[in-house]
Amino acid sequence: MSDSLPVVEDRYRLLVDAITDYAIYMLDRDGFVTSWNPGAQRFKGYLASEILGEHFSRFYTDEDRAAGLPARALRIAAEEGRFEREGWRVRKDGGMFWAHVVIDPVWSPAGELVGFAKITRDLTERKKAEESLRRSEEQFRLLVQGVTDYAIYMLDPSGRVNSWNAGAARIKGYSPEEIISEHFSRFYTDEDRTTGEPAKALATAAEVGRFEKEGWRVRKDGSRFWAHVILDVIRDDRGEIIGFAKITRDITERMEAQRALEEAREALFQSQKMEAVGQLTGGIAHDFNNLLMAVLGSLELVKKRVAYDPRITPLIDNAIQGAQRGAVLTQRMLAFARKQELKMEAVDAPSLIRGLMGFLDRTIGPNIEVNMRFPSELPRVHTDPYQLEAALMNLAVNARDAMPRGGSITISARPERIRQHPALAPGDYVRLVVADTGEGMDEATVARATEPFFTTKGVGKGTGLGLSMVHGLAAQSGGWLTLKSRPGSGTEIELWLPVATGEHRDATDGREGDSETGSGRRLLILAVDDDALVLTNTAAMLDDLGHEVVVASSGKEGLEVLRGRPEIDLIISDEVMPNMSGSQFAKAVRCDHPDLPVIITSGYADQAPNTDTSLPRLAKPFGQNDLATIVNETLEAALVG
């Protein structure tokens, strides 16, 4: 046995000396180095000859020596049987390394402390990696905490919050102390919680690794915001779910901006659609009015020239009424398209409405009570009185149809001053209100009520142009129309019209007078129109009024006729003609005949830039009385001038 002991010791020494990744050496009981292996030499930089007999405290930093750490390490090892720590140690060249140190006491067979075995491992690289990871984690934490536009937080596997950044606090309103350990379902609406949306989100993220959705979420104060949510699953090295990362962004403003954009696009589309309908309406109105002119004028003349026959005369009356209804429909379409030619005047609205009451009562029937409420003094409004009458009749008929079992209509007015309004220019207005106690309309119907051809009435019971016409009148007058209604609460329509200034002619001025020829003499009248039907009809009505008529089918032909008949007393010309308009024709006439009166007729209100608005105008289709009236008025104006 004694012979084999040195052999074993030699083997242990060879083993220790072969280890270079660990410093393994012995200390005596006072801490002086008594052995030194190659690993110790590699870590610390000392040769065995340089360090044997030296105290091991030289490997400690000045701060640790001042604190008595070397002596404390030996004492703990002796008392507790082991000392293990990590800390900075010093190499021979003064360089520092991070060391993992184990000190074990060495006892003799008699139980006497004879020294210490010390094992040191250089963990500098691991320490640097850990420090780098710590700094990275700290930077990431600061990054997450510094983000305020996104709520970034962690959930445990059951969905409870276990981290909370500043963005989450800002967006959702909870402080970390209030929300950590609470379930994330509290951010959902009651409806979503009822349908199990929070659990579905976690299940989807767990199954496919990610959940992404937009929807309403709830803040601490109960208010809602539109959120874009991403939920990612977090797994450990074994693939087990250890939680979820949740990112929420408040995109309410973006959603509202998108909705506003969509509404703007819809409004643009609607505007383009309305413009297209308006252009179509205006385009066909001229020709349609010319046809109505020929029909109405001819029927009126036939009725005057044919003796009453019970088998024929009612049919003529029926045809006249049908043509007149066609004319009214055209006027409504033109009013919607804002192409109806208005005769703007200063109108006393209360007087006009009171004068309409008799006809209104007969039209809407005995089951409807009509009330009027006007202040004692109300300024006149600037609009077309005849179109205003038609508009009020339309509103009253609509109100009647909304009250099949009876009810009441209230027409009221009051002055308003507008300083800032999205649709009205600043100034003084009169707000005319027609309110009923009918069935009312829902929001979708109100939104479409002024669209052309939209009607809630049955097929054949309405054209859908009534409110469109009223809207067109308001806009052309420089005003606006608003509609307020709720199901079961009736409807209130406000017609805003600008107050007339002193320069606007009173609606009652010039309306009195005889429709017969003022002078009583036979006039020589030149009638000009490119439509043969209208020209024949106009000439026939003038001839029936007792005048001599010469005709021309164009402005150029009219000038040639005028050169041959300079004694012509009056010219009646269509406005819309090829090559030369009525206004251009009148301008050419004035060159040689500056005092010759010219009347312009038109079935289309869009005016070219060179239109002469100072000329007297007669809207098509017109009857014989209309023609006689404007002839008289034009001659009287010429005599006064």
Q: pLDDT tens for residues 377-407?
A: 899 999 888 788 878 887 888 888 888 888 8
Q: How large is the average pLDDT for residues 322-345?
A: 66
pLDDT for res 10:
58
Give the model's pLDDT for residue 322. Answer: 81
Tell me the C-alpha distance between 320 and 295, whole Å.
Answer: 8
Residue 516: pLDDT over 60: no
Q: Of 217-221, 323-327, 573-577, which gets the smallest average pLDDT?
A: 323-327
Highest mean pLDDT among 12-26, 318-332, 485-499: 485-499
Sheet strands (E) in 5-131: 22-28, 83-90, 96-107, 113-122
Banded model confidence at residue 19, pLDDT cuts 50, 70, 90: low
Q: Which residues pair with 213 in a beta bridge?
A: 229
Query: pLDDT-based confidence at 617, cuts 50/70/90?
Result: confident
| Mean pLDDT for the stretch of residues 572-593 | 91
Does pLDDT of 335 surpass 90? Answer: no
For residue 7, pLDDT over 70 is answered with no
Give the pLDDT of residue 569: 92
The pLDDT of 555-581, averaged and rounded, is 91
Q: With a cut of 80, say whether residue 279 has pLDDT above it.
A: no
Structure-model confidence comparison of residues 266 and 247, the more confident one: 247
Higher per-residue confidence, 388 vs 31: 31
CA distance 404 to 400: 7
Residue 502 has a pLDDT of 64
The SS3 call for residue 22 is strand
What pLDDT, on the 0 to 100 scale, is given for residue 584? 92
Q: How high is the pLDDT of residue 5?
A: 47
Residue 14 has pLDDT above 80, yes or no: no
> Is the model's pLDDT at 231 over the cut of 90?
yes
- Least confident segment among 66-80, 177-191, 393-407, 458-472: 458-472
More confident residue, 480 or 2: 480
Q: Report the DSSP pairing between strands 113-122 and 345-347.
A: unpaired
* 147-250 homologous superfamily: PAS domain (3.30.450.20)
**pLDDT for 31:** 94
Residue with tokens 């009250």: 403
pLDDT of residue 341: 58
556 pLDDT higher than 90: yes
Of the candidate ranges 23-37, 270-284, 517-531, the one whose mean pLDDT is the lowest = 270-284
Using the 8-state DSSP alphabet, how is residue 580 labeled?
S
Mean pLDDT in residue range 450-467: 48
Q: Calculate what percentage of the chain has a pLDDT beyond 90.
A: 38
Per CATH, the number for 524-640 is 3.40.50.2300
Residue range 201-208: mean pLDDT, rounded: 94
pLDDT at 1: 45
CA–CA separation, 225 and 171 (whole Å): 9
Phi, psi values for residue 529, rounded to 5°: -160, 140
pLDDT at 455 over 80: no
In sign, the C-alpha dihedral spanning 257, 261, 266, 272 is positive
Q: H or E element: which one contains 392?
A: helix 385-401
- CB-CB contact of 609 with 499 (8 Å): no
Q: At 135, is the pLDDT very low, low, confident or very high (cuts 50, 70, 90)?
A: confident
**Tokens 């202040």 appear where?**
375
| Domain boundaries of the chain, sorted by first residue | 4-123, 147-250, 272-334, 345-498, 524-640
Parallel, antiparallel, or unpaired for β 617-619 and 598-602? parallel
Computed over every residue of the chain, the mean pLDDT equals 82
pLDDT-wise least confident of 1-15, 251-265, 433-447? 1-15
Cα(399)–Cα(439) distance, rounded to whole angstroms? 9
Tell me the average pLDDT across 496-510. Answer: 66
Average pLDDT rounded to a whole number, residues 433-439:
89
Largest CA distance in the chain: 166
230 by DSSP, 3-state: which?
strand
N-term to C-term CA, the chain: 154
- Indicate if the pLDDT at residue 214 is higher than 50: yes
User: Is residue 328 pLDDT above 70, yes or no?
Assistant: no
What confidence score (pLDDT) does residue 509 get?
A: 45
Cβ–Cβ under 8 Å, residues 541 and 624: yes
The candidate with the shortest Cα–Cα distance to 173, out of 125, 246, 222, is 222
Is a pLDDT exceeding 60 seen at residue 154? Answer: yes
Provide mean pLDDT across the span 518-545: 85
Q: What is the pLDDT of residue 201?
A: 94
Separation of alpha carbons 102 and 27, rounded Å? 12
Which pairs count as long-range contacts for 200-205, CB under 8 Å and 24+ apart, including other chains?
Answer: 201/229, 201/231, 202/155, 202/159, 202/231, 202/244, 204/231, 205/231, 205/232, 205/233, 205/244
CATH code of the domain made up of 4-123? 3.30.450.20
Q: Is 108 left (phi over 0), alpha (psi -120 to 50) or beta?
A: beta
- Comparing C-alpha atoms, which of 441, 445, 462, 454 is closest to residue 277? 454
Residue 453 has pLDDT above 80, yes or no: no
Give the pLDDT score at 411. 92
| Shared fold status for 4-123 and 345-498 | no
Task: Assign 147 a pLDDT band (cuts: 50, 70, 90).
Answer: low
* Structure confidence at residue 618 (pLDDT): 87
Angstrom distance (rounded) from CA 272 to CA 54 = 99
Nearest one of 262, 115, 70, 247 to 172, comparing CA atoms? 247
- Residue 79: CB atoms within 10 A of its CB come to 10
Out of 75-89, 113-127, 279-293, 555-569, which region has the weakest mean confidence (pLDDT)? Answer: 279-293
519 pLDDT above the threshold of 50: no
Q: Looking at residues 426-451, what average pLDDT do you find? A: 81
- Whole-prediction pTM value? 0.42
Local confidence band at 42 (pLDDT 50, 70, 90 cut-offs):
confident
Residue 283 or 373, more confident: 373
Element (H, E) at 285: helix 252-305
DSSP 404: T
Which range has highest mean pLDDT (13-17, 68-72, 448-452)? 68-72
pLDDT value of position 270? 63
Q: What count of Cα atoms within 13 Å lies in the side-chain half-sphere of residue 107?
A: 9
Tell me the two tokens of residue 510. 């010039």
Spell out the CATH class of 345-498. Answer: alpha beta
